[in-house]
């Protein structure tokens, strides 16, 4: 009965802790009107013991408001001088004059996507896109006079310089985290030509260029844009023969209808078409940091929390974002150690080198972080898992680039296997596995939908609210739960010790000192006030906690709830029982 009452009390106050999060007006995103929400009422105190935060980049650290900034078409850079390619007179003149490569490039921007155009009552064209990257490209194409204005079944209609161009979409080769590219097969309704249009990451497009095409200028463009923290996509195309398309289409339909290894078979069939591409150029899209991200990361670092960034972006782009948001310190205070390689031997050598450096610099104040890409990570997790786990223990900061959703979940699992309390935060469907794998999952209600928020234990509107969620709500919940659990243990011991003492002086007769009503009243009424008070208890003000995040160390170390504190409450119960029993029995 006592255990049941304790469990009910604990569940009740934990529900109230969750409601405090829901009712917190300081965690409302006023831009969207999105409040914080606690979907899981059982783990509020775990927020106060977080040791590792694993975060997505796009839409989590950044605004996910994509703006087309620069591009490189056939080796010519646009937007480098003005910072905005759409205002570059050379690009505007090339579009106006009908330069073939530029027109193809802008056409791919306009129709190689899954965007749906919607015409408003005022006549304006609005775009409904699954990806903010696609929305930015279609909007940029429209500003370059290539306006995607209608989608009727499989017919795309584009308005270009007062003329209407129609394309019939024959097949859509959807983007996946493994393929890292997306393609459409279209037929030009004017001349009947069948064309493959592709866009994707540089490593998913450039290796498939036709033999003889010089791709070095595109590699340089990608590196240059990545150094600026811009997101890059490579655009390519090739013309298909009628027979080639018909033969491939049969294989694609067969793969699409299979029930066994469907995704793998589709990817294999897509590979048969996406080759010998003519690479046209590179786009560069800006995605700015959210307000308060650097301050939030800096504050939580002072609280002893380590950060890992898990992103699908290119390495240089991720590093620049990490530097701008205080994820890592620039030289000479910080040092980045790279783990790359395409073979097991290369990855092993790099992993051993980074591990040796980590062991040496552990005692130094220098901020050291390791950077690993998806390919090297796959090899490390498969063949050198023990060494990588040791690296995870030694490292406070990691930047993992070009990682897949399954790899994100594996990294969370590695940290959990080392008995670290992990929190994963993301905003998109590709973050769901990571969020569900972590001890605590936090979803951001962002522009990529609510998949992450619905799968998470907690949802917030912006990354900066994570600071208050952990430092204020997490710490208060931990302190209150620690007191409540030990106080309930204490009050139960007091009544039990009194009954034991009475049994000895009554000759172990089995007679109870208390009747059932008194026992019930003792737990429900007489000792309930401290429980109610503990729900509202604040040992320090919220301002003090936010200004001195180091206070969280006590929660992380379990200073308030451990065997020694339980022993203290046990001794306290014995000390209090002794005079109560002595004077009570003498009076009786």
Average pLDDT over residues 5-13: 72
**What was the pLDDT predicted at 522?**
76
Whether 56 is a known active-site residue: answer yes
Percent with pLDDT over 70 in the chain:
95
**What was the pLDDT predicted at 584?**
66
The pLDDT of residue 446 is above 60: yes
What is d(CA 310, CA 44) in angstroms, rounded to the nearest whole number? 24
Is 502 in a helix, a strand, or coil?
helix
- The residue from 56, 202, 373, 431 that is catalytic is 56
The answer to whether residues 271 and 176 touch, using CB atoms and an 8 Å cutoff, is no
Report all structural domains of the chain as residue ranges with CATH numbers, in order of start.
Answer: 31-63+288-462 (3.40.50.1000), 67-286 (3.40.1110.10), 472-587 (no CATH)
The answer to whether residues 381 and 346 touch, using CB atoms and an 8 Å cutoff, is no
Tens digits of per-residue pLDDT, 20-74?
A: 999 999 999 988 888 999 999 888 889 999 999 999 988 899 888 899 999 999 9
260: confidence class by pLDDT, cuts 50, 70, 90: confident
Q: What's the chain's average pLDDT?
A: 88
Q: Poorest-confidence range of 217-231, 286-300, 349-363?
A: 349-363
DSSP string, 89-106: HHHHHHHHHT-HHHHHHH
The pLDDT of residue 283 is above 90: yes
Residues pairing with 127 in the sheet: 117
**What was the pLDDT predicted at 504?**
77
The pLDDT of residue 7 is above 80: no
Q: Which residues contact 92 (CB under 8 A, 6 or more apart)?
A: 144
Give the tokens for residue 561.
Answer: 């709830």
587: confidence class by pLDDT, cuts 50, 70, 90: low
Reference 101, options 281, 243, 308, 303; nearest CA is: 281
The pLDDT of residue 105 is above 70: yes
**What was the pLDDT predicted at 296?**
94
**What was the pLDDT predicted at 400?**
94
**What was the pLDDT predicted at 448?**
67
561: confidence class by pLDDT, cuts 50, 70, 90: confident
195: confidence class by pLDDT, cuts 50, 70, 90: very high
Is 58 in a helix, a strand, or coil?
coil
Per 3-state DSSP, what percentage of the chain is helix, strand, and coil (rounded to 5)? 50, 20, 30
The answer to whether residues 185 and 175 touch, using CB atoms and an 8 Å cutoff, is no
Average pLDDT over residues 218-240: 93
**What was the pLDDT predicted at 219?**
93
C-alpha pair distances (Å), 578 with each of 304, 358, 494, 497, 523 = 43, 55, 10, 9, 20
**What was the pLDDT predicted at 23?**
93
**What was the pLDDT predicted at 132?**
87
Average pLDDT over residues 325-353: 86
Tens digits of per-residue pLDDT, 491-516?
A: 888 888 888 887 777 777 777 777 77
pTM of the prediction?
0.85
The pLDDT of residue 374 is above 60: yes
Average pLDDT over residues 451-455: 89
What is d(CA 510, CA 95) in angstroms, rounded to the nearest whole number? 98
The pLDDT of residue 136 is above 70: yes
Q: Which residues contact 448 (CB under 8 A, 6 or more apart)?
A: 59, 64, 131, 132, 427, 428, 429
Whether a cis peptide bond, with omega within 30° of 0, leads into 552 is no
Tens digits of per-residue pLDDT, 121-135?
A: 777 888 888 888 899
**What was the pLDDT predicted at 325?**
87
C-alpha pair distances (Å), 110 with each of 139, 151, 172, 244, 256 = 8, 12, 14, 25, 26
Reference 86, options 157, 161, 132, 142; nearest CA is: 142
What is d(CA 453, CA 465) in angstroms, rounded to the nearest whole number? 14
The pLDDT of residue 586 is above 70: no
**What was the pLDDT predicted at 534?**
75
**What was the pLDDT predicted at 295?**
93
365: confidence class by pLDDT, cuts 50, 70, 90: low
What is d(CA 197, CA 186) in angstroms, rounded to the nearest whole number? 8
């Amino acid at each position: 009965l006592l255990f049941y009452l304790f469990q009910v009390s604990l569940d009740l106050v934990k529900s109230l802790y969750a409601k405090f999060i829901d009712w917190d007006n300081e965690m409302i995103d006023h831009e969207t009107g999105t409040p914080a929400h606690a979907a899981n009422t059982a783990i509020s105190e775990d927020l106060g013991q977080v040791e590792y935060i694993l975060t997505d980049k796009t839409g989590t650290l950044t605004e996910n408001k994509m703006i087309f900034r620069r591009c490189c078409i056939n080796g010519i850079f646009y937007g480098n001088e003005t910072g905005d390619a759409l205002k570059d007179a050379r690009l505007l003149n090339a579009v106006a004059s009908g330069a073939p490569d530029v027109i193809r490039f802008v056409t791919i921007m306009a129709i190689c996507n899954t965007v749906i155009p919607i015409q408003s009552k005022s006549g304006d064209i609005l775009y409904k896109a699954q990806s903010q990257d696609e929305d930015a490209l279609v909007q940029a194409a429209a500003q370059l006079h290539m306006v995607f204005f209608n989608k009727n079944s499989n017919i795309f209609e584009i308005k270009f310089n007062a003329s209407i161009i129609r394309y019939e979409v024959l097949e859509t080769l959807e983007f996946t985290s493994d393929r890292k590219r997306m393609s459409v097969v279209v037929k030009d309704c004017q001349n009947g030509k069948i064309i493959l249009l592709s866009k994707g990451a540089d490593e998913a497009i450039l290796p498939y260029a036709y033999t003889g095409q010089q791709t070095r200028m595109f590699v340089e463009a990608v590196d240059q844009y990545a150094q600026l923290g811009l997101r890059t996509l490579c655009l390519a195309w090739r013309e298909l023969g009628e027979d080639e398309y018909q033969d491939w289409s049969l294989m694609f339909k067969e793969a699409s209808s299979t029930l066994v290894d469907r995704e793998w078979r589709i990817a294999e069939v897509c590979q048969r078409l996406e080759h010998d591409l003519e690479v046209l150029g590179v786009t560069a899209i800006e995605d700015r940091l959210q307000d308060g991200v650097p301050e939030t990361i800096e504050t939580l670092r002072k609280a002893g929390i380590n950060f890992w960034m898990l992103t699908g972006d290119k390495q240089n782009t991720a590093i620049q974002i990490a530097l701008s948001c205080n994820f890592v310190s620039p030289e000479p205070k910080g040092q980045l150690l790279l783990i790359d390689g395409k073979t097991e031997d290369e990855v092993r050598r790099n992993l051993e080198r980074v591990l040796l450096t980590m062991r040496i610099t552990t005692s130094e104040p220098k901020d050291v972080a390791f950077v690993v890409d998806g390919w090297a990570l796959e090899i490390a997790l498969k063949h050198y898992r023990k060494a990588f786990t040791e690296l995870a223990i030694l490292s406070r900061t990691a930047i993992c680039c070009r990682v897949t959703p399954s790899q994100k979940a594996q990294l969370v699992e590695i940290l959990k296997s080392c008995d670290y309390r992990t929190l994963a935060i993301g905003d998109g469907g590709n973050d769901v596995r990571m969020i569900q794998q972590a001890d605590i999952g936090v979803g951001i209600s962002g522009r990529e939908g609510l998949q992450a928020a619905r799968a998470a234990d907690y949802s917030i509107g912006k990354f900066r609210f994570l600071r208050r969620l952990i430092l204020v709500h997490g710490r208060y919940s931990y302190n209150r739960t620690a007191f409540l659990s030990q106080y309930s243990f204490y009050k139960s011991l007091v009544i039990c010790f009194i009954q034991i003492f009475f049994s000895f002086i009554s000759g172990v007769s089995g007679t109870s000192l208390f009747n059932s009503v008194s026992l019930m009243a003792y737990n429900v009424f007489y000792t309930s006030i401290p429980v109610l008070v503990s729900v509202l208890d604040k040992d320090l003000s919220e301002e003090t906690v936010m200004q001195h995040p180091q206070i969280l160390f006590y929660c992380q170390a379990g200073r308030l709830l451990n065997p020694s504190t339980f022993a203290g409450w046990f001794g306290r119960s014995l000390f209090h029982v002794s005079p109560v029993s002595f004077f009570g029995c003498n009076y009786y």
